[in-house]
Structure 1
Amino acid sequence: MKKFTPVLAIGLISALTGCDSKQSISESAAVSETTQTQSETLEYRDAFDAWKQSQNPQTLLAYEDYFKAHFKQPPSLYVLTVNTHPFEQDCEQYRFALPPKQMWHNLLPALQLVEQLQQQGIFAEYKIVSVYRSPEANHCARGAKASKHLNNYAVDFKPLDESLQPYADDAAMDQKLCAFLHKHGQKLHLGLGLYGKQRYHIDRQGYRTWGVGYGSATSPCLKK
């Protein structure tokens, strides 16, 4: 697969929206820094520290360094490996997962696009819910059997306002993201999942949308 460069995504979105690409590049660094700061306040710190002890430290460092090569302020290792979906107690051992090296580059297009949505003002901040999932974690999260998370192609996230709180109007946020999908989704090969309560999925593995239950019929973007 051709290696993805975030600058290419910035240029593509800029061409579609009329934004200046140089401005987008500088803004992208600030966005990544904000996302990383949010992630460090999450609730699974002790589990994360314990999980790291079971991993090869050189591999963890290499994964962090990979994203440092693509982002001026990259997401933290915590953000890149955590799944914050509700898990049963016997699933907690799968809370964190590191993708195989051949999948590392798969995440870049989706992650860059989430940041671009923020830069365009669709939401002020955001919290990443999950990216890569091991098969065990995907089962625990009740993900789709062919979930794009299994190959590190997808980002699940929640938009936040300037105070790092959820927006008051769920339907309004759905409408903003659906409008972006209808305008740019086909060119960007955008997959948009809307799961309710302002939890969203983004990947760039094909133009499509779905809602609760993973069916297109439940997507707010297709309802008149």
Structure 2
Amino acid sequence: MLRFISAAALAATLSFAPSVGSGQLIGRAANVQAAAATVPMHKAAADAFGLAHVADSGLAPGQSADDFRTWVSGSGGNRDNVVAFGNFLAAEGVGSIVPLWELTRTSSSWRECGAEPFEAPPPDKWEHIVTTLKFVRDDVVPAVGQVEAVSGYRNAKLNACSDGAPKSAHREFFALDLTPVNAAVDRDDMIRSVCAAHARDGARYDAGLGFYTGRRFHVDSSGFRKWGPNGKGATSPCVHYA
């Protein structure tokens, strides 16, 4: 069974960046990934992947916790990449904000697009989600309680098939689509609370905010902005609570 590397080992690993050739992974993410492949984990798999606390909104058919277990156990590469990603998030202090396994959900269109239901984000994009997770921790969760991630990284092919913008924040893994875990939080309360948090602190986190139908919303850290159905700020539901 795999085990997480210790904080001390991570600190030592992240402090040294060896020279690498063209095409190889570079920087802290590469070091964490390499360490994860050689250092066993001291936690049970359920804790390692955040499966000990499972929420299922029903918004991600075919992307349930059981589906993740099947996917991650089907390939050693999948398992090792997710473990390395989790170790990186832990080292950055954002490892327990959203269950790790949910961060590997791709898109609700995965089946129609012939894609995978889960995908470990590429290591060169791991740092992009850190600020987004901090905004979720510091502002979104206090506003609506714990959240479930229903979509994260989308590769270029899946993003195009899902009708994502060519420069979608999901492609670079700045973005998460979320929904409140607490079913008692209705759409109006969710919008009002998240919009207030975004207006107060969004600029500090360079946070983008958009809302879908129902209780699903988008956050990223690739530009302070908000938008509505036509992609414009003027149609954002936040304008009703300004």
Q: Could you state the TM-score of these two structures normalised by the residue count of structure 2?
A: 0.65
The letter of the residue matching 1:219 is S
Structure 1 residue ranges (4+ consecutive) displaced by more than 4 angstroms after TM superposition: 33-36, 39-42
Shift of 1:145: 2.2
The answer on whether the counterparts of 2:132 and 2:219 sit within 8 Å (CA) in structure 1 is: yes
Does residue 98 (structure 1) correspond to residue 116 (structure 2)? The answer is: no
CA gap of 1:177–1:96, structure 2 versus 1, over 3 A, is: same
Q: In the alignment, is the contact (CA less than 8 A) between 1:99 and 1:152 conserved in 2?
A: yes
Max Rg structure? 2
> Which runs of 5 or more structure 2 residues have no equivalent in the other structure?
1-27, 29-48, 58-62
Q: CA deviation at 1:100?
A: 1.7
Note the 1:8-19 alignment, pairs <5 A.
none
- State, as a whole percentage, how many aligned pairs show the same letter: 25
RMSD over equivalenced CA pairs, Å: 3.2
Structure that is richer in helix per residue: 1
1:106-163 residue CA offsets vs partner (Å, 9 max, x unmatched): 111111211222553x1122111112111233234332221111111112101232xx
Within the candidate set 63, 70, 88, 1:49 is matched to 70
Aligned to 1:78: 101
Identify which of 172, 195, 206 aligns with 2:223: 206
CA deviation profile, 1:63-96 (whole Å, cap 9, x unmatched):
22212323475344421211352x2644253321
Structure 1 SS opposite 2:154: coil
The runs of 5 or more residues in structure 1 that have no matched partner are 4-32
- State how far apart, in whole Å, the 2-side matches of 1:184 and 1:43 are: 32
1:197 to 189, 214, 218: 214
Q: Contact 1:39–1:79 at 8 Å: present in 2 too?
A: no
Check whether the contact 1:39–1:78 (CA below 8 A) recurs between aligned residues: no
Q: Does 1:38 align with 2:54?
A: yes
Amino acid at match of 2:180: P
Task: Name the counterpart of 1:150.
Answer: 171
Residues 141 and 147, structure 2, Cα contact 8 Å, conserved in 1: no
Q: What is the Cα deviation at residue 47 of structure 1?
A: 5.8
2:145 to 117, 120, 124: 124
Deviation at 1:166, TM superposition (A): 5.2
Answer yes or no: is the 8 Å Cα contact 1:196–1:212 preserved in 2: no
Please give the alpha-carbon distance, in whole angstroms, between the structure 2 residues aligned to 1:177 and 1:128: 15
Structure-1-length-normalised TM-score: 0.69
In the alignment, the residues of structure 2 paired with residue 142 and residue 117 of structure 1 have an alpha-carbon distance, to the nearest angstrom, of 29
Q: Per the alignment, do residues 58 and 156 of structure 1 end up closer, same or farther by CA in structure 2, a change over 3 Å counting?
A: same
Report whether the alignment pairs 1:180 with 2:197. Answer: yes
Match of 1:22 in 2: none
Aligned equivalent of 1:167, options 170, 185, 192: 185
* Alpha carbons 2:154, 2:171 under 8 Å: kept: yes
In the other structure, the counterpart of 1:139 is: 160
